Structure 1
Amino acid sequence: MRIDFVEPKAWKFIWAAAALVVLVIVGSTGGKVWQLRQQRVVLEQQLAAMNAQQMQRLAQAPESPQDNPRAASEAAARRLLQRDWNRLYDAIETPALAKVRLVQLTMDAGSGQVVLEYELESMAQAAVVTRALNDASGQAGVWRLERVDKSSQGGGVVETDRFRAVLQGVIE
């Protein structure tokens, strides 16, 4: 008895189709992985360039000095104590200003700016006061007449025949 086995040909087709499907899946996945790797390389290059730019900016930026607030305060106090405020008071108390009344004295110790407000009897006295202050100050300061206003009493309700002169100067 002789048995003849015939090879089934259908299974070859099924295995070939399965192999083809697996190859397609592996190929598409490999392609996606390759694209992602390329994108990662590009992003790493951009990150390295941005880090280099940041480091360059930081290297070019001036370093902020380490300020010691106590030392700065001591230096400012020393500078203010060395300022000769007697020149200001000598100029204000000059006998040429005996006929006018000092209403307000405002000074900024840091910059030496001084603002004086005088009450005057006439507009002509404004020039006299400015000249008297400049003569009394000498080279210590220069006084400038900022404005002359009509004086008022009681919050601006009652007008008087007096004037207010505002002078500004710097004492060194």
Structure 2
Amino acid sequence: MPEQISTATDTGILQVPETIAIIMDGNGRWAKKRGLPRTAGHKKGADTIHTIGLEANRLGVKKLILYAFSTENWKRPEDEVGYLCKLPGLFFDRYIRDLMNNNIRVTFAGELERFPESTQKMIRKAVQQTEANTGLELCIAINYGSRRELLLAARQYA
């Protein structure tokens, strides 16, 4: 059973943060240590995010940011990149009903254009389906990178 968390400021009890960010890293290494393919680790990570998202929503967290796929991830082996590109679709196929039932709103940050059309559609559909929800905002950072962000900011400034 998770530790009880309160927002009461005068009790000295841990306060719930408004925003939590998670860098999705180490899932492939987790799988390899267990003799599994790296993709099994990525699937386990997605399933764990479902659990974390529901619990964060229950606790009153306002925003959960998942740094899920950086621009550097394109350098991975082709079969692993292919699986990672399909993972959002698998996640939303399996969990969109839970997200809706728990009033969780999906957003994304980054650029979808390099992803397969089916992945782009699935992410946009999840955003559209949940846009009226008022609970936790589940923000998926996808195809992001610090170098890319600096370049975009410099171009915008110029």
TM-score, L = length of structure 2: 0.25
Question: Which of the two has higher C-alpha Rg?
Answer: 1
Which structure's relative contact order is higher, taking Cα pairs within 8 Å and 6+ residues apart? 2
**Structure with the higher fraction of residues in strand conformation:** 1
